[in-house]
Amino acid sequence: MTRVERRDKEPEPTKEPKQPSGKISRREFLGMTGTGIAGLVIGGVVSREAFPKQVEVPAQPAAAPAAAPAAGEVPAVAEALAGYTLVFDPVQCTGCMKCAVACSEKYGAYFHPEETKNTVNLEYSRIRPMRFQYVDVLNTCHYCELMEWAEGTNEFPCQAVCPEDAILTIPEGEGESGYFGMGYKWIDQDKCLGVDKCWRCAEICEDQFASGISFDPISRKAQVCSRCGGDPECVKVCPEPLALQWVPMGRNGRFYAHTPTEYAELLYRKMYNVRREL
């Protein structure tokens, strides 16, 4: 009986690979198609983990000329993007917490380098997967703006109720690369009163929108997702294809905004045809 052995690796080439001659292999072609489609949708730059499997490029002989970056390769310098948002796919998201670990590591080290030197603490994370039975909800700030024609202002709701004007929108060209800027939110650490005196932002969010505000356990100040100034860390580490995407915000973020329990109740209906009140 013939047996088919499982191959874990590409077979070793038996002869010298061809020099690149303008003709592209099927593998490369597929990889480029992927980026092409993504490019069309989101205007040029591929979301990094949206197509997490790097296209394997056949080993180039040493003499090969330094070619342009191969299809699918992640650009060395990440580009911060304005006007984007995080979108999660609750079917693909497994609630594995990698996003929360990456976020908390980044911002814990930024604000409290000494205190977090030896500690992994998810309380610094601006993004928290919440595990409901059989469904996972990725909770973060959705950037909902009020509707001026109906609500009299187009501020963020948390911004509108903040008595100290501590919730800032840092414009493009300002802020700190990799952390804030590019039109995303930021909490003014000097102005914020902290949870022990005020929690109006968190309250209005949970009362009418979502649950995008949390509080720093050391400084007690509000925390909100600043989208890492347009280059979010969570998207880079997400291991599940398309579970967490970085896409242009199509509409006012309040269309993404639901409280975690609302999301979970909707998911029970959608995924299991079950009605549950949480």
Written as six digits, the tokens of 20 are: 């690149």
> Quick check: helix, strand or coil at residue 136?
strand
- C-alpha separations of 7 from 10, 25, 56 in Å: 7, 21, 16
Are 48 and 74 in contact by the 8 Å Cβ rule? The answer is: yes
CB of 18 to another protein, least distance (A): 28
| Nearer Cβ to another protein (84/256) | 256
Residues 197-236 that bind another protein (CB under 8 A): 198-200, 202-204, 206-208, 210-211, 214-215, 217, 220
Backbone angles phi, psi at 127, to 5 degrees: -130, 125
CA-wise closest residue to 186 among 164, 166, 206: 166
Q: Give the nearest distance from C-beta 220 to another protein in angstroms.
A: 8
Q: What is the 3-state secondary structure (H, E, C) of 13-29?
A: CCCCCCCCCCCCCHHHH
Q: Which is nearer to another protein, 47 or 259 (CB)?
A: 259
The footprint of another protein on this chain (CB under 8 A) covers a number of residues equal to: 64
Residues 55-94 that bind another protein (CB under 8 A): 90-91, 94
**Cβ at position 245, least distance to another protein in Å:** 18
Nearest to 222 by CA among 167, 145, 161, 174: 167
- The interface with another protein within residues 259-278 (CB under 8 A) comprises 259-261, 264, 268, 271-274, 276, 278
Contact 264, 278 (CB under 8 A): yes
Binding mask 106-145 for another protein (x = CB under 8 A): ----------xxxxxxxx----x-xxxxxxxx-x------
CB of 67 to another protein, least distance (A): 26
Of 3 and 23, nearer to another protein (C-beta) is 3
Q: Is residue 54 near another protein by the rule CB under 8 A?
A: no
Lookup result for tokens 């840092």: 170
Using rule CB under 8 A, residue 153 touches another protein? yes
Question: Any contact of residue 33 with another protein (CB under 8 A)?
Answer: no
The set of residues, in sequence order, having a beta carbon less than 8 Å from that of 158 and lying 6+ positions away, is 167, 200, 201, 202, 204, 205, 212, 213, 224
Residues that bind another protein (CB under 8 A): 90-91, 94-98, 101, 105, 116-123, 128, 130-137, 139, 146, 150-153, 160-161, 163, 195, 198-200, 202-204, 206-208, 210-211, 214-215, 217, 220, 239-240, 259-261, 264, 268, 271-274, 276, 278
